[in-house]
Structure 1
Amino acid sequence: ENTKNGDAIVIRYGKEGNYKIMVVDGGTKESGKQVVEHIKNYYGTSYVDYVVNTHPDIDHVSGLVTVLEELEVGELWMHLPWEHSSEIRDMFKDGRITDNSLSERIKNSLNKAHQLYEIAIQKEIPIYEPFAGEY
């Protein structure tokens, strides 16, 4: 949050009366507030069809927390690395690491991304992991 950099993209596409709105990354917390205001003021809605987090860097995910907290969201697209600990545990040389301990370490190191995930779960927003060939 101590950065002025960050990426946030808001896209509205379609035809009048049938627009879709997509937010790709949210920048910083301040950027997230600006994204929410932009959508409300210029698009006249509090609904976003798709929210996409390209990667869990804090200057991309922090603003999305605000978007999910303040707007209604149809779908969240993000990677959930903490759910794949059993697949990557063997890459670590420390034999004391368990699937659960690795998952917790990942959650802690990516705390804003995990917070975004938790908000989506609480608000019952469907979450999709954007892997090639999945959808």
Structure 2
Amino acid sequence: MKKIITVLILIFAIFLVGCSNKKLDNNISNSNLTVHFIDVKQGDSTLIISPDNKTMLIDAGDNSQGENIKNYLKKLNINKIDVLVGTHPDADHIGGLDYIINNFEINSFYMPRKSHNTKTFKDVLIAAKNKGLTIKEAKYGVKFKLGNYVKCEILNPVKKYGNDNNLWSAVIKTTYNNKSFLFTGDAEFKNEEDMIKSGANLKSDVLKLGHHGSSTSTSEKFLKIVNPDVAVISCKYKNKYGHPHKETLKLLKKYNIPLYRTDEQGNIVFYCDGNKIWTDKKPGTYNYYGNK
């Protein structure tokens, strides 16, 4: 009799554990994707955290921003970056990458096959080599998952683009259930046209505008095809390049697309449950602060 009772207790315990695991899985699948546009002044750095706590960092600002980004990640109790991306060799995007590589465990590292002769670029290569990291090529058609729930696809570079660093920018579309984000690095009109011709599904709910809102990116045709609900620009307040440019601001205003910008709002975080996207900050303005 005692043996029977013991067996029944064990079966019941196993049943409870199974229920608990199912409940945990449901909680994970109902959790949020978070996208952090980190204020790195005149540069780009975006942190994506999946519902099951996998992390992707796209760019790391310039050479002065590594510690700032490290501190931001540490406050979120992040010690490992599952996917690290350097969109292209410009210093305002990869300058802080060597610092991040040296201070975090990195699983996968993507960069386009575009070299540069600057110390900043060489420092990134050295840091990766010292860490034993293999740099995977960021190019059109590459797909990977961030955890179990988030799909990622690289949409650019579509082809080889010569010496212009911006044209080599890795463009990444990230999808969680019914919602998506498009991160465009410094991609320009030519890239946008090539991505359109490629037949890729560019429709996205949130668009991180190319090249800090420059007039050489975000054509009207591209904007209409992406058809975002929200636009984001990463740049420094009253920067020397005049970003974001008047033409881009007028275009966003024309289509009534709410604009979030790090020069006005600092760090910006979006939350996504797979069916809706929200943030605790109000949109920025269409104000132009440049001298051009």
Give the TM-score normalised by structure 2. Answer: 0.33
Match of 2:131 among 109, 119, 123: 123
> Which residues of structure 2 form unaligned runs of 5+?
1-40, 144-292
2:48 corresponding residue in structure 1:
11
Cα distance between partner residues in 2 of 1:14 and 1:57: 31
Deviation at 1:126, TM superposition (A): 2.5
For residue 100 of structure 2, what is the aligned residue in structure 1?
Answer: 67
SS of residue in 2 equivalent to 1:133: coil
Q: How many residues align?
A: 104
Task: Select 1:25's aligned residue among 34, 51, 59.
Answer: 59
1:134 Cα deviation after fit: 4.8
Residue identity (%)? 27
Which structure features the higher share of helix residues?
Answer: 1
Equivalent position to 1:114, from 104, 122, 126: 122
3-state SS, counterpart of residue 74 of structure 2? helix
1:55 Cα deviation from its structure 2 partner: 0.9
Number of the residue aligned with 2:12: none
Give the aligned CA root-mean-square deviation in angstroms.
2.0
Report the counterpart of residue 212 of structure 2 in structure 1. Answer: none
> Partners in 1 of 2:120 and 2:61 — Cα distance?
12
Distance 2:134 2:108 in 1: 5
Q: Is the 8 A contact 1:10 1:35 kept in 2?
A: no
Q: Equivalents in 2 of 1:77, 1:66: separation in Å?
A: 16
Per-residue displacement from partner, 1:31-89 (whole Å, max 9, x unpaired)?
221111111111x131111110111111111111111111111111112434xxxxxxx
Structure 1 contact 74–126 (Cα < 8 Å) conserved: no
| Bigger RCO (CA 8 Å, 6+ sep) | 1
How much does 1:114 deviate?
2.5
Match status 1:47 vs 2:80: yes
Give the drift of 1:124.
0.8
CA contact (8 A) 1:79 1:129 kept: yes
The separation in 2 between residues aligned to 1:55 and 1:81, in whole angstroms, is 7
Equivalents in 1 of 2:140, 2:99: separation in Å? 28
Q: Distance in 2 between matches of 1:47 and 1:126?
A: 16
Looking at structure 2, the residues matched to 77 and 20 of structure 1 have their Cα atoms a distance apart, in angstroms, of 16
Alpha carbons 1:22, 1:50 under 8 Å: kept: yes
Letter in 1 for 2:100: V
Contact 2:44 2:93 in 1 (8 A): yes
Structure 1: gaps of 5 or more residues: 83-105
Distance 1:134 1:50 in 2: 13
